[in-house]
A and B are shown apart, each in its own frame.
Chain A
Amino acid sequence: MTTLSTTRPATGATGETRLSQELRVVGMVWERELLRYVRTRTRILGGVIQPVLFLFVLGYGMSGLVGTTGGFNFRQFVFPGVVAMSVVMTAIFSAISIVWDREFGFLREMLVAPVSRSALVCGKAAGGATVAAAQGTIMLVLAPLVGVHLTPMLVVEVIGLELLMAGAMTCFGVFVASRIQRMEGFQVVMQMLLMPMLFLSGALFPIKGLPTWLAVITRINPLTYAVDPLRRVVFAQQHMSAAAQLRFPTGVTLFGYSLPIVVELAIVVAFALVFFVLAIRGFSRAE
């Protein structure tokens, strides 16, 4: 039995049992997130409707303008972006529910408990990631309707990328939520932060050949590096002609250098870690 610190709990917990206790907390916070998700059908439905609107309204509207190149159209192009939008919005919504928890007092129940803030944030991030990935995966049902071809392997890859993207966005959202004290702040965040991030991530338009100022903003936006890998893996299964690939390009170039998918994912992981740490700190300050 090793004593890790001088202030051991009275139960005489070893480092190992304390770790399992922390993991139990992570699991419980995660489970609560899932319970709340499945109980609010309106939220699931709402999370589907908005992306569907983008997919079909924007998809058909723009198709006339963009046209079909080598059998590939704008709806197929925008599909991965719309899936990403759905994931991001669900993740942010899940994280922001902390503001509700604060309003309704439940946050206090969590913060006064003798557990570490990192366990709480971990559970929250895992819960948000799971819920958002589920929501994004529901969107895949629409793939055949817009002519996007799915394979089992592709679905697995997409879910993996959704989890990463959602985890990162949940950490970001939890950090923002730690700074928001009132419900009204939530609206501001949605308008000022989430929408620009989504619109400037390349979810709805190709980010090649943009005017410089716009190109710079999209490269600063961390979401760009989460949306592009999703589009890449989907497009890889679409048997696109060379002309279509040119018309609907993927990949992010930074200083003239085309980033490999691994680098993009590394950027998302780094973003997630930074905000994970900031989120923990955000809640350590409070109360």
Chain B
Amino acid sequence: MTTVAPSPPALGGAGPDPPAVEVHELTKRFGDLVAVDRISFSVAQGEVFAFLGPNGAGKSTTINMLCTLARPTSGRVSVAGYDVGTQAKTVRRHIGLVFQEQTLDDQLTAEENLRFHAVLYGVPHDQVDARITKVLGLVALSERRRDLVSTYSGGMARRLEIARGMLHTPKVLFLDEPTIGLDPQTRALMWEDVLRLRAEEGVTIFLTTHYMDEAEYADRIAIIDHGRVIALGTPQDLKASVGTDTVDFETADDEAAAAALRRAGYQVEEAEKGLRVLVRDEEAAVGPLVAAAGVAVETVRVHRPTLDDVFLHYTGREIRETHAEAMPMRMRARFGRRR
């Protein structure tokens, strides 16, 4: 595991608050298969923490262990300060869960689904109505409060599930592939909801995803592959760890420009066409670069490492290939789930 950089919120319980999630040497074996292999990490309170990896990497197995739905083979996990092994019920009371598959009763209204959940999680009688109003507001579904869930779109149902997960004011909200099967616009909306929840309710959010662009929203990302955490850090740190930003130039006179830039202290390489300059921060660098080149600049192309590059760097392959390959497996998982 490569811990790229210490991130702002306290790591390993060093800060004033105990971590929301603390995982130590967690392992899960299914027979000979090691699904999760001695992983350790901790998530600070109020953090948005993403588990990024291809399907079959061990994301869901890990999240299930954190939610007390699967028993670890070995290792220790505490969530919201409680041990998942010995205090499973208490853990469940303090976490919110949103599963990959929908778990709403579509013959009930949104309000009835929420009321059912409130009772199951022991929300005090006199607070139920206020909480329902609050969480529906958070996901912008107040207008649809009394509508049957069967009339909801996929995205609305997913947002209602997120609202339901928040109903009993959990310390940690777990989202397993929350945006799976949603269109890009709905995904963006859902992310707005999630970030609003964090801002207004101060909840810690732990989610799994295999969408690179989504992981960008997280404060920190753990990249998991073959059951191991292979990199952990903020999106910026992870990207910085695999390479620097580059700016490609084509100018009227490349040689003169290269010489001028080198004199100005830049690291310049010959590119296929034109020049490539390695910079620390592409956005701030372009202006001064053009000025320093001293000749007429024809084209400027900037490139900043993406999480795709990060994934490629650490796993040796692109998440998309592994994703495409894992597709039939996921469908099997979806339909074969109830053996």
Using CB atoms and an 8 Å cutoff, list the residues of chain A in contact with chain B: 7, 9-11, 21, 24-25, 27-28, 32, 35-36, 39-40, 101-106, 108-110, 112-115, 181-182, 287
Q: Could you say which residues of chain B place their CB within 8 Å of the CB of A181?
A: 338-339
Chain A residue nearest to B118 (CB atoms) is: A28
Report B122-143 residues with CB < 8 Å from chain A CB: 122
Contact A9 B89 (CB under 8 A): yes
Chain A residue nearest to B115 (CB atoms) is: A28
Q: Could you say which residues of chain B place their CB within 8 Å of the CB of A40?
A: 107
Beyond A105-B104, A114-B89, list 10 extra A-B contacts (CB 8 Å). A10-B93, A10-B94, A24-B119, A24-B122, A25-B119, A101-B105, A105-B101, A112-B69, A114-B92, A114-B93
A14–B127 alpha-carbon span in the complex (Å): 20
A16–B235 alpha-carbon span in the complex (Å): 49
CB of B112 within 8 Å of the partner chain: yes
Closest 10 pairs between A and B when the two form their complex, measured CB to CB: A113-B120, A105-B103, A28-B119, A114-B92, A109-B103, A114-B93, A114-B89, A181-B338, A106-B105, A108-B103
Q: Could you say which residues of chain B place their CB within 8 Å of the CB of A9?
A: 89-90, 93
Q: Could you say which residues of chain A place their CB within 8 Å of the CB of B117?
A: 109, 113
Q: Could you say which residues of chain B place their CB within 8 Å of the CB of A113?
A: 92, 117, 120-121
Contact B112 A35 (CB under 8 A): yes
Q: Could you say which residues of chain B place their CB within 8 Å of the CB of A28?
A: 115-116, 119-120
Q: Could you say which residues of chain B place their CB within 8 Å of the CB of A105?
A: 99, 101-104
Q: Could you say which residues of chain B place their CB within 8 Å of the CB of A10?
A: 82, 90, 93-94
Contact check: which of B99, B112, B338 meets A102 at CB < 8 Å?
B338
Q: How far is the CB of B107 from chain A (nearest CB, A)?
A: 5
CB of B10 within 8 Å of the partner chain: no
CB of B286 within 8 Å of the partner chain: no
Q: How far is the CB of A98 from chain B (nearest CB, A)?
A: 12
The number of chain B residues with a CB under 8 A from chain A is 30
A102–B101 alpha-carbon span in the complex (Å): 11
Contact check: which of B94, B115, B120 meets A115 at CB < 8 Å?
B120
Query: Can you list 8 A-B contacts with CB-CB less than 8 angstroms, sorted by A residue number?
Result: A7-B89, A9-B89, A10-B94, A25-B120, A32-B105, A32-B112, A35-B108, A36-B105
Among A39, A109, A110, A112, the one with the most B-chain Cβ atoms within 10 Å of its Cβ is: A109
A101–B101 alpha-carbon span in the complex (Å): 12
CB of B84 within 8 Å of the partner chain: no
A264–B106 alpha-carbon span in the complex (Å): 40
Chain A residue nearest to B101 (CB atoms) is: A105
Q: How far is the CB of A12 from chain B (nearest CB, A)?
A: 12
Q: Give per-residue flags for B299-335: 1 if the beta carbon is below 8 A from chain A beta carbons, else 0.
A: 0000000000000000000000000000000000000
Contact A104 B106 (CB under 8 A): yes
A114–B117 alpha-carbon span in the complex (Å): 11
Q: How far is the CB of B121 from chain A (nearest CB, A)?
A: 6
Contact B107 A7 (CB under 8 A): no
Q: Could you say which residues of chain B place their CB within 8 Å of the CB of A114?
A: 89-90, 92-93, 120-122
Among A27, A35, A106, the one with the most B-chain Cβ atoms within 10 Å of its Cβ is: A106
Contact A182 B338 (CB under 8 A): yes
A77–B86 alpha-carbon span in the complex (Å): 59
Contact A112 B97 (CB under 8 A): yes
Contact check: which of B69, B97, B339 meets A287 at CB < 8 Å?
B69
Contact check: which of B67, B86, B103 meets A7 at CB < 8 Å?
B86
A71–B120 alpha-carbon span in the complex (Å): 55
CB of B74 within 8 Å of the partner chain: no
A112–B87 alpha-carbon span in the complex (Å): 14
Q: Could you say which residues of chain B place their CB within 8 Å of the CB of A112?
A: 67, 69, 92, 97
Q: How far is the CB of A105 from chain B (nearest CB, A)?
A: 4
Given A105-B101, A110-B120, A115-B120, CB of A39 within 8 Å of CB of B107 = yes
A36–B108 alpha-carbon span in the complex (Å): 7
A48–B135 alpha-carbon span in the complex (Å): 41
Contact A21 B122 (CB under 8 A): yes
Contact B338 A103 (CB under 8 A): yes
Contact A7 B87 (CB under 8 A): yes
Q: How far is the CB of B113 from chain A (nearest CB, A)?
A: 8
A32–B107 alpha-carbon span in the complex (Å): 10
Q: How far is the CB of B167 from chain A (nearest CB, A)?
A: 11
Q: How far is the CB of B26 from chain A (nearest CB, A)?
A: 20
A25–B117 alpha-carbon span in the complex (Å): 10
Q: Could you say which residues of chain B place their CB within 8 Å of the CB of A104?
A: 102-103, 105-106
Report B32-47 residues with CB < 8 Å from chain A CB: none
Q: Could you say which residues of chain B place their CB within 8 Å of the CB of A102?
A: 338
A21–B122 alpha-carbon span in the complex (Å): 7
Q: Could you say which residues of chain A place their CB within 8 Å of the CB of B102?
A: 104-105
Contact A108 B99 (CB under 8 A): yes
A115–B93 alpha-carbon span in the complex (Å): 9
Chain A residue nearest to B105 (CB atoms) is: A106
A10–B82 alpha-carbon span in the complex (Å): 10
A249–B332 alpha-carbon span in the complex (Å): 57
Q: How far is the CB of B325 from chain A (nearest CB, A)?
A: 27
Q: How far is the CB of A80 from chain B (nearest CB, A)?
A: 32
Chain B residue nearest to A181 (CB atoms) is: B338
A7–B87 alpha-carbon span in the complex (Å): 7
Contact B122 A11 (CB under 8 A): yes
A103–B117 alpha-carbon span in the complex (Å): 19
